[in-house]
Structure 1
């Protein structure tokens, strides 16, 4: 029974990876499809980003880009911030468009960088889960071997080493399950960042 439970936990990890994409990547346990890299053009059909200049050298654009990229800034606050920024350029449409393009470039770089860190974190998390699943399987095997050993006879009191092993097995299994539940929420973050980036791109382009 214990061994079956441990194997079920292992299978749940494999199943998550299998659902994620046709080719199973053991370091990607999410049901959501893994998108390795993003490009600015996925969310932008406005002016050429390269021609707009380095966003980091434009202090006003850089400050705004980082502010609207932050998830602490509610999307309802983005429109007023963009309107105030665009208003600084008055009737100079070319300057305004280039500045807004730099804002998008900055927001893309900030959000994409955050997304990459989270993707790498998910991979490390999955590796840790896989190692823990293997340890749980080994612990289940040892517990089963001790219980099935002929030398036990009709003993009613469990040996100390068996009690410690069963306690460790139960604790590891609990941690594994809690980490698996947490991973479900973490897996949603890359997509949430992509959605935010798409929404920012849309709102910036509305002001070009």
Structure 2
């Protein structure tokens, strides 16, 4: 039988298995999803972000006005129903909203400060709800991401077994199986890297929402007592 090693160009084309474990190990250590990383330290192995996972914000950390009502009922107030979506939309500058807040007045049954308090309660509730939804999505995405890393590791072990068989038997089908699996590992690794870049981006979303909530609190507090 013609030796596979004697076929011109074949030896150069075959990937070297010893590079694969190093590549996968480098991904685990360099991309922040190693089993002993910060997520596990925070008690959630599926949380990939640098910042600690806190599912809900605390309004007491940003609001120094009166206690927020349990039910803001802002949708029943025409002016508040117009302002809350503007306050929660990150694409809307708060400078644009400030004049609208200045026009908010007391009613026969409610002082201006009480309405402003309900306004913040509504905005805070909406921002916190969106942030909670995003955090849940990040955890689910990261769980699939971690599953892919485990899949790469399993395939790497299988590739090592196939390589041993191929080198021992020099059979064409053994080399073909090994090379096919090496291709899968390569593309799985590319997907892993792309997902990692996405996680880095989406991890900023909860932080941006927190900043928006703090900014909204400052804006409304500045109107209190006017």
**TM > 0.5 between the two?**
yes
Distance 1:21 1:161 in 2: 36
* Correspondence for 1:166 among 176, 179, 182: 182
1:33 partnered with 2:33? no
Q: 1:146 to 1:188 in 2, by over 3 A?
A: same
Larger radius of gyration between Structure 1 and Structure 2: 2
Alignment length (residue pairs): 203
**Counterpart secondary structure, 2:25:** helix
> Cα offset for 1:60?
1.7
Kindly indicate whether the alpha-carbon contact (under 8 Å) linking 1:47 and 1:101 is maintained by their aligned counterparts in 2.
yes
Please, which runs of 5 or more residues in structure 2 have no aligned partner? Answer: 1-18
Kindly indicate whether the alpha-carbon contact (under 8 Å) linking 1:55 and 1:62 is maintained by their aligned counterparts in 2.
yes
* Correspondence for 2:126 among 100, 110, 115: 110
Matches within 5 A, 1:25-174: 25-50=44-69, 54-84=73-103, 86=104, 88-89=105-106, 95-149=111-165, 150-153=167-170, 159-174=175-190
**Counterpart secondary structure, 1:207:** coil
Q: Which residue of 1 aligns with 2:193?
A: 177
Kindly indicate whether the alpha-carbon contact (under 8 Å) linking 1:17 and 1:25 is maintained by their aligned counterparts in 2.
no
Tell me which moved more, 54-63 or 96-105: 54-63
Deviations 1:81-112 (A, max 9, x none): 3223x2x449x9x6211111111011101100
* Structure showing the higher helix proportion among its residues: 1
Q: 1:83 to 1:52 in 2, by over 3 A?
A: farther
Deviations 1:134-176 (A, max 9, x none): 1111111222222232334397x98433332222111110000
Distance 1:141 1:134 in 2: 11
> Cα offset for 1:16?
8.6
Kindly indicate whether the alpha-carbon contact (under 8 Å) linking 2:72 and 2:122 is maintained by their aligned counterparts in 1.
no
Q: 1:144 to 1:51 in 2, by over 3 A?
A: closer
Q: 1:51 to 1:174 in 2, by over 3 A?
A: closer
Distance 2:121 2:67 in 1: 10
RMSD, aligned α-carbons: 2.7
Q: 1:33 to 1:16 in 2, by over 3 A?
A: farther
1:6 partnered with 2:24? yes
**Counterpart secondary structure, 2:65:** coil
> Cα offset for 1:73?
1.0
